Structure 1
Amino acid sequence: MTASTPLTTPDGRYIVVRGRLWRCTNPALPERERQDWVQRLMRARRAVAQARRASDPQAEREARDEVDEAKRALGERGPVWWTDGAPDFTQRKVENTPYAAWYRDLATPSE
């Protein structure tokens, strides 16, 4: 794993960022559609930053809404994209989820 490759849970549902789970993009999205939404997400994030620098709350709200739209389209927010009925653990500390043992085992050197 490199610095640019996030730690991903074994089931591919989450990445781990600073000990918290964040939902991955829906792997069933066609690649072209995924790319389009990622580009829209990046533009919206830049617009949020620009609005904040300009102290423009209306533009910031609009840009944040665009971020939310893109993240929902990617499956990172809103209804979960998996179909087995498993709950969503987004934003929870890994140690407080069923992934706790897996995460702990990563930090424990194998013998």
Structure 2
Amino acid sequence: MPDSTSPHADPSGDSPTDDEKFFTVRGRRWRRTDPALAAEVVEQLKSHLGRGRSGVRAGTKAQDTEAVAAARRTVGLAKHGLGERGAPWWELSEQDRHARAADALAALEGDEAAAGRVFGGGDRG
């Protein structure tokens, strides 16, 4: 968690509680979706996430390692966009959080440069 001098610290001084950051399923803790994202963006990313998960299942059943890898990439991009992977959303500015989601959506729709920004955290250039 960043300290108050961190460039990623919440300027309002309010930081989310663990209950707002995580949820638990069968004893395993998972990061929650970024609450700052618009409902439409979350819906689009979750649609990609569902298709990716379906692709992993289908590729695994068919023993198609390339299909599984591609589907896992889709899952990873969607989860990064949702704030569930990568830098914790509560450590980023709201602008960076929205940019990460937009880059993930662009990457999921075929923009490879956007994928590099999502995974690499580089500039929006």
Q: Which bracket does the TM-score occupy, shorter chain normalised?
A: 0.5 to 0.7
2:70 to 57, 62, 66: 62
TM-score with structure 1 setting the length: 0.64
What is the identity, as a one-letter code, of the residue corresponding to 2:45? W
Q: Is 2:60 aligned against 1:35? A: no
Q: CA deviation at 1:20?
A: 2.0
Structure 2 residues without counterparts, runs of 5 or longer: 1-16, 93-125
Question: Which runs of structure 2 are paired with 1:1-111 in the superposition (5 Å)?
Answer: 11-83=19-91
The whole-number CA distance in structure 2 between the counterparts of 1:82 and 1:29 is 12
Question: What per-residue deviation string (whole Å, max 9, x for no partner) do you get for residues 20-73 of structure 1?
Answer: 210000000011000000000000000110001111001100100110000000
What is the identity, as a one-letter code, of the residue corresponding to 2:88? V
Which one has the bigger helix percentage?
2
The whole-number CA distance in structure 1 between the counterparts of 2:88 and 2:35 is 12
What is the identity, as a one-letter code, of the residue corresponding to 1:57? T
Q: How many residues align?
A: 76
Q: Once superposed, what is the RMSD of the aligned Cα atoms?
A: 1.6
Moved over 4 A (4+): none
Question: What per-residue deviation string (whole Å, max 9, x for no partner) do you get for residues 73-107 of structure 1?
Answer: 000000001139xxxxxxxxxxxxxxxxxxxxxxx
Identity %: 41
- Residue number in structure 2 paired with 1:98: none
Relative contact order, CA 8 A, sep 6+: which one is greater? 1
Structure 1 residues without counterparts, runs of 5 or longer: 1-8, 85-111
